[in-house]
Amino acid sequence: MRLALCLLVILAVASATPKFNLDYSKKRSMTAVMAEVEAKLKNKSPLDAILNVLRDFRDAVNTEQVNHDEIYNVQVTECDSENAFRRAEVTDASNVLRDSTAALNVAQTSKIRATNQQEVNQQQYFSAQEHLNSVLSAAETEAGYFKRRGRDYEDALHAIDEASDILAAIYSGSGSFAEISRVSKSMLQTAFNIKETAKFAPVFYAFSQLAAQEGQLDESALERVAQLLETLRGNIQEAYNDFTESNAVSVAAFNDQKDRIGQTIARLEAQNERLQNKLDSLNQQIGTQSAIAQTASGKLQRNQQLWDQAQALCSTFANEYNYATQARRNELQLVAELEEMVEARFNQVEDENHERNQRLANQA
C-alpha cells in the first residue's frame, strides 16, 4: 500500500512538473530526422542549419535522459524504503510466529502432561475413596460384632452372678436345684456365644455332682462350687476386659487408618485442584498463543506477498530505465555518426566546388 501511494505521488508529480515530462505518446523518429537532414542537404541549406536539427534531437534525448534519471532516483529511493519496511515487517512477523509457535508447543506438551497427571490423580482418588468406604464398612461390621460379643460377655457374667445367688440361696435353705438347672442352660448358651466352653466345663461338672447329691447337701461341696463360680467369673471378666481392650485397639487403629486415608484424599483433592488450575491456565495460554501465531502468520504472508510485488515492480522500474537509457545511447551514437556524415558530405561538396572553380578559372 505504501509503495502504491508513492507511485501515485510520483506519477502525479511527473504529470504536473515540466522537468519530469516524459511524453511517450509522441515518439521521436530518427527516420524523420534523417529525412529532414536529407531535404536540407538537397536544398543546400547551411551546415549549421542541418547540424542544428541533429543538435536539437540530441538535446531532446539528453533532456529526456536527465528527467528519467531524476524519476528513477525517486523510484530507487522509494523502492529501498519499501524493501526496508517490508523486510522489517516480515522479520518481525517471523520472529513472533517462531516464538508463539514455540510457546504454543510448550503449552500443548505441558497440557498433555498435566492431563495425564490429573487422570492418575483421579484414579488414585477413586481408589482412596473405595478404600475408605471399605474400611468404614469393615469398621461398621466389626463394631456390630464387638457390640454383640460385649452383650454376650455381659450375659455370661449375669448368668454366673445369678448362679452364685442361687447357690447362696440353696446354702441358706431357700433355694432349689431346679433353678440351678435353669441357669445352667443360660450359662451354657453364653459359653457357646463367647466361645469359652472350656472355662465353664468345671462349673457344669460341679453342677451335675450337686444335682446327684440333692437331699444330701454337703456344705463343702457348695463352697467348692461357689469358689469355681468366683474363679469362672474372674476369668470371664478378664476375658471381657481383654476383649474390650482389643476393641479399643481396633477402634484406634481404625481411626488412625481413617485419618491417614482422609489425609491422602485431601492431598489428592488439593493436587487435583492445582492441576485443574494449571490446565485452565494452559488452555488460556494455548488460546492466546494460537491467536498470536495466527495473526503473525497472516501478517507474514501479507507482507511477504507485498514485498514480492514491490520487488517485481522495482525490477520493472530498473529494466525500463536500463532499456530506455540504452535506447537513448543508441540514438546519441547514431546522431553523432550522422553529424560526422553530414560534415564529411559538406567537406566533399566544398572540395568539389573548389575543384570546379579552379577548372573554370584555368579555362578562362
CA 187/CA 182 separation, integer angstroms: 9
- Residue 222 near residue 142 (C-beta atoms within 8 A): no
Q: What is the mean pLDDT of residues 113-119?
A: 94
Alpha helices, DSSP H, located in 173-218: 177-194, 197-212
pLDDT: which is higher, 178 or 245? 245
List the single range of 52-56, 68-72, 206-210, 314-318 with lowest mean pLDDT: 206-210
Buried b (16+ CB within 10 A) or exposed e, 21-46: eeeeeeeeeeeebeebbeebeeeeee
**Cell numbers given for 195:** 466361645
Of the candidates 334, 327, 324, the one whose C-alpha atom is nearest the C-alpha of residue 34 is 334
The better pLDDT of the pair 51, 317 is held by 317
Taking residues 104-125, report their average pLDDT: 94
As a whole number of angstroms, the distance between CA 348 and CA 151 comes to: 157
How does pLDDT run across 36-51, given as a tens digit for each residue? 888 887 887 788 888 8
Q: Who wins on pLDDT, 362 or 264?
A: 264
pLDDT tens digits along 58-70: 899 999 999 999 9
DSSP string, 43-90: TT--HHHHHHHHHHHHHHHHHHHHHHHHHHHHHHHHHHHHHHHHHHHH
CA angle 181, 182, 185 (to 5 degrees): 90
Mean pLDDT value across residues 181-203: 85
CA count, 13 A, side-chain hemisphere, 36: 14
What's the CA angle centered on 62, arms 59 and 63, to 5 degrees?
85
Residue, of 227 and 179, whose pLDDT is higher:
227
Contact 62, 350 (CB under 8 A): no
> What b-and-e string marks burial along 60-87, b requiring 16 or more CB atoms within 10 Å of the CB?
ebeebbebbeebbebbeebbeebeebbe
Cα 98–Cα 103–Cα 105 angle in degrees, nearest 5:
95
User: Residues 215-224: what's their mean pLDDT?
Assistant: 73
